[in-house]
C-alpha cells in the first residue's frame, strides 16, 4: 500500500512542481513561489520515503512510519500549498505539526529497520 501511495504522491509532486513553475510563476510573488517550491520539495522527498517504507518488512513501526509520512505531507506540504495560494496566514500554525510528523515518521522508519534485523 505504501509503495502505491509513494508512487502516486511522487507523481502528484511532479505535477504540482510543474504547475508552480509554469502556471503560478506569473501569479505569485517570489516569496510565495518559494513557499510553493518548499512544499513540492518536502512532498517529493517524503513520497520517496513512502516508497522506501513499502520495501520494509511489515510491522507496527513500518506502518507508523508510513502513516506519519502521509500525515506530514498532508499537514506540512498541504499547508504550504494553501498559504502560497492565499489561505489565511493562521493556517501556518498547522505546518510545524507536519514537520513533527515527518520527524516521527523517520524515527519510526529507523526503528522498523532496527527491530526487523535478526541478531547474527
pLDDT the model gives residue 120: 58
| C-alpha–C-alpha distance, residues 53 and 112, integer Å | 9
- In the DSSP assignment, the letter for residue 118 is P
Span 108-118, average pLDDT: 90
Question: C-alpha grid cell for residue 58?
Answer: 511489515
Q: What is the pLDDT of residues 10-27, one digit of tens each?
A: 999 999 999 999 999 889
Looking at the predicted structure, is the pLDDT value of residue 41 above 90? yes
Give one word for 83, left, alpha or beta, with left for phi > 0 and alpha for psi -120 to 50: alpha
Rg (CA), the chain: 16
Looking at the predicted structure, is the pLDDT value of residue 117 above 80? no
Amino acid at each position: 500500500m505504501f509503495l502505491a501511495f509513494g508512487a502516486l504522491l511522487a507523481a502528484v509532486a511532479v505535477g504540482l512542481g510543474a504547475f508552480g513553475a509554469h502556471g503560478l510563476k506569473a501569479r505569485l510573488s517570489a516569496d510565495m513561489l518559494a513557499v510553493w517550491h518548499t512544499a513540492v520539495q518536502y512532498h517529493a522527498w517524503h513520497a520517496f520515503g513512502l516508497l522506501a517504507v513499502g520495501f520494509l518488512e511489515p510491522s507496527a513501526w513500518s506502518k507508523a512510519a508510513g502513516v506519519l509520512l502521509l500525515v506530514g505531507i498532508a499537514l506540512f506540504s498541504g499547508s504550504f500549498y494553501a498559504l502560497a495560494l492565499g489561505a489565511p496566514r493562521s493556517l501556518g500554525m498547522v505546518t510545524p505539526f507536519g514537520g513533527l510528523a515527518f520527524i516521527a515518521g523517520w524515527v519510526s522508519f529507523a526503528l522498523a529497520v532496527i527491530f526487523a534485523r535478526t541478531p547474527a
